[in-house]
Chains A and B, each alone.
Chain A
Amino acid sequence: MSLARFDNILAIKTESGRTVGFHARNLQVARLDDVVWDALEDPSRASEDVKSEILQWNAEDDKDVTDGNVEPGVRTLSVNVAQVCNMRCSYCAAGGDGTYGARGGKTAHVDIEKLKGQMKMLIEKAPDGGKFSINFIGGEPLIYPRTIRAIADHARGLASPRGVRLRFEITTNATLVDDGIAAMLADLGAFVTVSIDGDPETNDLHRKMAGGRGSSARALRGVEKLMAVRDRLGALACNAVFGEHNTDVVAAWDFLRRYPWHMIYLGYAAGPKDATYSPLYAKGLADVARLAFAEGGETELRRISQFDHLFRILDGKNRVHNHCGAGKTLLQVDTSGKFYACNWWTNVKSEEVGSDLTLDKAALDKFAPSLIELNNCGSCWARHVCGGGCMFVNRLRTGDKHRKDTEFCNRTRHLIARGIEYYERSRYEDGQGA
């Protein structure tokens, strides 16, 4: 794959020899004749006719494209139900044991009374008939299933009189899921994500129980319980994490796709050796895309979250301005009632944005501008798909949450370009090329 760029226009020369165009501001995709590629590579060889067409497209302003600016107000509260875990994953970003570095057990369980007040404070600000999401994470949240039930019941009591539509999400390792927990999650209509890295042999290398044994057998038993209630859940997805510990994305996908997940997340954990491992991950995910598309076209490709997300943006013609809602529409609360913009900043004192029933307006105001602006994305062609990148990765890799991480940008652009290639094939071959 090679890229050429002129202002708003990106041209992608695919491995099959096709040239695909992408208009970065209008989020339009096009099939390009070779003469357009040649013109972008070497304008001196271009005919006036081709130059004219390129300039015309470049200047075009598509009135159908909308901007995904966020409306003010917290719409998602991410709750650390537990800051303790029954597993010890080698790449854990929560301190290796779910404590985020605060060992000693004092903050293992969420302070439910504080949380009830915080939910009241935030849900009361949601508009009548609006939406509000509560994400249960940890640690392993299902260590305390009755707490989850209690939080959900309390939230429903706050939301239902005003018609606020609640949504519950949970990220779990599934090792504690039994029939009762599966039924409870089904009753909540929860959107469940299971963390699992692929086949048992690989998964057990890096996702061990606290006692040191592999987690796969227990996790897969839990998965079976969840699959049994799959149709009563909001959705059931899996999340595999890659990085220095594992870059075999194809093998993981090949195992995970055998289950009827609604969605497969294949994510990357940033680390100090990203210059080596990030490109390997990106290549692996691109290989998965090729295999998935060859096997099942758009449908199979879109079981992989990143590509589904891209297709939604392009079909919806909606420019993304924020990679996430951290500090804008999303807040994280830890077990002791401290607020953060991002869940991975739990116990990072400098990133606290409030506690108990007080939100630090000055701290939150700093998150108000779009991430494209805050993270200085300039004219990057991928900015309206990426939405400015991840502040956690930036902070981890560059020491400044608003200083871009080159490896993040490289793998993001690479994979978006790959995705655009498949989008063009899907839509053009639909017979809709104009």
Chain B
Amino acid sequence: MSDRVMKTDKEPDVKHIKKVTANSTKAAAKDGLKSKGTADGGVPKVFGMPCLPQHSD
């Protein structure tokens, strides 16, 4: 879809996009693991790697 086709100045009247709310409590409260984090610091733990896994940091 191009920007040109999508261009409009009209303000939306009805919400067709209903955002869900991130749950920061659940981000921190993973059962069983003592801390949390992302992949940026160490060994990856995401999709499709042949890598040694790393527990959440």
A binds B: yes
A interface residue numbers (CB < 8 A to B):
4-7, 21, 27-33, 35-36, 39-40, 43-44, 48-57, 68-70, 75-76, 78, 93, 133, 135, 137, 169, 171, 191, 193, 234-235, 237, 239, 241, 243, 262-263, 265, 267-270, 278, 281-282, 298-299, 302, 305-306, 308-318, 320-325, 329-330, 343-344, 385-387, 390, 392-393, 408, 411-412, 415-416, 423-424, 427-428, 430, 432-434
22 CB < 8 A contacts A-B = A21-B17, A28-B22, A30-B20, A33-B16, A39-B1, A44-B5, A49-B10, A51-B6, A51-B8, A52-B9, A133-B57, A135-B43, A191-B54, A239-B52, A269-B50, A312-B56, A315-B22, A320-B39, A329-B41, A427-B23, A430-B23, A433-B19
| Residues 34-57 (chain B) with a chain A CB within 8 angstroms | 34, 36-57
> In the complex, which residues of chain A have a beta carbon less than 8 angstroms from the beta carbon of B9?
52
Q: Kindly list chain A residues whose C-beta atoms are within 8 Å of the C-beta of B21.
A: 427, 432-434
Q: Check A31–B10 contact: CB distance below 8 A.
A: no
Residues of chain B within 8 A (CB-CB) of A36 are 16-17
Which residues of chain B have C-beta atoms less than 8 A from A430's C-beta?
Answer: 23
Contact of A390 among B23, B33, B44 (CB under 8 A): B44
List A contacts of B55 (CB < 8 A). Answer: 169, 191, 193, 234-235, 237, 262-263
Pair A434/B19 contact, Cβ less than 8 Å: yes
* A341, chain B: closest CB distance, angstroms: 11
Tell me what chain B mostly uses at the interface: helix, strand, loop, or mixed. loop
Decide if B40 touches A70 in the complex (CB within 8 Å): yes
Known: A49-B13, A68-B40. 11 other contacts (CB 8 A): A43-B6, A169-B55, A171-B53, A234-B34, A267-B49, A315-B22, A315-B23, A324-B44, A432-B21, A432-B23, A433-B18
The residue in chain B whose Cβ has the minimal distance to the Cβ of A271 is B50
Task: Quote the shortest CB–CB distance from A276 to chain B (angstroms).
Answer: 15
Given A54-B6, A386-B47, residue A311 in contact with residue B27 (CB < 8 A): yes
Contact A427 B20 (CB under 8 A): yes
Q: Hey, which chain A residues are within 8 Å of B38, CB to CB?
A: 68, 309, 312-313, 316, 318, 320
Give the shortest distance, in Å, between B5 (CB) and chain A (any CB).
Answer: 4
